[in-house]
Structure 1
Amino acid sequence: MSVYTPLSPTQLAEVLTPFGFQLRDYHAASHGIENSTFLIKAQDRHGQPSPLVLTVFESLDPTALAPYLTLLEQLAEQHLPVPAPLPDADGNDQITVAGKPAVLMPRLPGQHDFAVDADRCRQVGTLMARLHASDTASLHPLPSERERLRGFTDHLDKLPPAERDTAAALLHDWLAQPAGATLIHGDLFRDNLLWEGGKISALLDFYNACLDHPEYDLAVALNDWCVDPQGQIVPERELALLSAYRDHGRTVDDSRLCEALAVAALRFWLSRLAGPVSDDSEGQGSKDPEEFARIYRQRLKALAV
């Protein structure tokens, strides 16, 4: 991810000491735009290699971060490919780095790979079915995606004037509906998966997770995995993802999904227009808003049919 909080080798070594690790090497990750993430090569107390990931949170405070860490622990216990936070010597899984909340996790095997085809879309559909079937009975309360969407209404004035009223009406209609009760990832873009040997090895970045309709989660994924660079739907990929999802026992409300596709595209158009967390980042920074402007217009056109 982009780095807003640079850390020196000395600072990173000090972070690792209470966990029983020694720093060997590190570099800043280059994908994503919200937090500062460092990929670390370390050595444990027995001299064994220990690949780690340190994430420094730029906008979440310690109280807001806590339920996400509990969620990661519970999903890892349910055998989903999710990294659980590591506790330090005092049992704390949340620490403070450069005055900001942070978490240290094992680095799961695999690499980012942005290739996309029908087989990979089937794997994504299967993984989403597993996630949506996960046990949420003991979850701590999570922030609502509906609240995030309400916050993005403040950025409607950044849209072209001719598109503002329609966008406002779409958000109003979606927000007027009751939220769902399914655990969703909320951000299942290609940069939040790792791959090993052509198979998904890790699902990352649960900091948009919440309870809502599964169709919204599907819409976020479909808008990244199943469109071409012009925002046009790629039917083969979309069919593969949704078929795999249904084949694993999940149902889809097609009408809700059609609306969710437009809402999710608008949400990420607005979030990109809102800009990066900081003007002083190292790395990727904000992504191109026009990518989601194109997708939104295609999804809105389909919704009107």
Structure 2
Amino acid sequence: MSVYTPLSPTQLAKVLEQFGFQLRDYHAASHGIENSTFLIDGLGKHDQPCPLVLTVFESLDHPALTPYLTLLKQLAKQHLPVPAPLATASGNDQITVAGKPAVLMPRLPGRHDFSVDADRCRQVGALLARLHASHTEQLQPLPSERARLRDFTHHLDKLPTADRDNAARLLHRWLAHPAGTTLIHGDLFRDNLLWDNGEISALLDFYNACQDHPEYDLAVALNDWCVDARGHVVAEREHALLSAYRGQGRSVDTRRLNEALPVAALRFWLSRLAGPVSDHSEGQGSKNPEEFARIYRQRLEAFAV
């Protein structure tokens, strides 16, 4: 992910000391746009190598971060491939770094790989099915995606004039529906998975997670994994993802999915238009809004047919 809060080796070494690790090496991660993330090679007891990830949060405060960390712990206990936060010697899973909340986690095996094919889409569909079937009885309240969408309505004036009315109607219609109660990731883009020998090894970045309809989560994934550079649907990939999802015993409301597809595309178009957290960052920074403008228009046209 991009780095908005640079840290020196001395600062990182002091962070690791709180968890009983020593700093061996590190570098700033380059994927994502919201937080500052450092990939760390640490040393544990008896100089045991310990790959770690430090995330410094640029917009969430400590209380807002708490339910997400609780969620990660619960999902890790259910054997989903997610990193659970580590605790300091005093038992804290949150610390403050450069005046901002921060979390240290184990770095799960694998690497980012942005190639995509039908087999990878099948794996994504199966993983989403597992996530949507997870037990959430002990969840702390998570922010609502509906609230985020309402916030994004304030950015509709950033759209081209010809798109504004249809976009406003689409959001109004979607927000009029009651929210679902399924745990969803909300951001399953290719940069939020790690791969090891062609298999998913880690699902990352749960900071858009919430409870809503599973079709919305499917729509977010389909809009990234199953379209080409022009925003057109790649039918083979879409079929693979949805078939694998259904193959895990999950059902899909086709009508709701067809509506969720342009809504999810519009959401990420608007979020990209809203801009990065900072104008000065190391790494990726903000993503191109036009990518989701193309996807949105394709999805809206198909929904309107």
Q: TM-score, normalised by structure 2?
A: 1.00
> 5 Å matches for 1:1-305?
1-305=1-305
Task: Report sequence identity in percent.
Answer: 81
Q: The residue matched to 1:278 in structure 2 has which SS?
A: coil
Q: The residue matched to 2:249 in structure 1 has which SS?
A: coil
Unpaired runs of 5+ residues, structure 1, are none
* CA distance in structure 1 between the partners assigned to 2:23 and 2:228 by the alignment: 41
CA-CA distance at 1:281 after TM superposition = 1.1
CA-CA distance at 1:18 after TM superposition = 1.1
Q: The residue matched to 1:46 in structure 2 has which SS?
A: helix
* CA distance in structure 2 between the partners assigned to 1:281 and 1:258 by the alignment: 36
Residue by residue over 1:154-173, the C-alpha shift from the partner in whole angstroms, topping out at 9 and shown as x without a partner, is 10000001110110000000
Q: The residue matched to 1:26 in structure 2 has which SS?
A: strand
Residue by residue over 1:33-58, the C-alpha shift from the partner in whole angstroms, topping out at 9 and shown as x without a partner, is 00000000000022100000000000
| Pairs aligned (count) | 305
CA-CA distance at 1:112 after TM superposition = 0.3
Residue by residue over 1:6-61, the C-alpha shift from the partner in whole angstroms, topping out at 9 and shown as x without a partner, is 00000000000010000000000000000000000000022100000000000001
* CA distance in structure 1 between the partners assigned to 2:87 and 2:162 by the alignment: 51
Partner amino acid for 1:100? Answer: K
Partner amino acid for 1:135? Answer: H
Partner amino acid for 2:282? Answer: E
* CA distance in structure 2 between the partners assigned to 1:252 and 1:125 by the alignment: 12
Partner amino acid for 1:205? Answer: D
* CA distance in structure 1 between the partners assigned to 2:56 and 2:145 by the alignment: 22
* CA distance in structure 2 between the partners assigned to 1:120 and 1:280 by the alignment: 34
Residue by residue over 1:238-289, the C-alpha shift from the partner in whole angstroms, topping out at 9 and shown as x without a partner, is 0000000000000000000001000000000000000000111111100000
* CA distance in structure 2 between the partners assigned to 1:132 and 1:46 by the alignment: 40
Partner amino acid for 2:39? Answer: L
Partner amino acid for 1:179? Answer: A
* CA distance in structure 1 between the partners assigned to 2:282 and 2:30 by the alignment: 9
Unpaired runs of 5+ residues, structure 2, are none
* CA distance in structure 2 between the partners assigned to 1:42 and 1:60 by the alignment: 26
* CA distance in structure 1 between the partners assigned to 2:243 and 2:99 by the alignment: 46
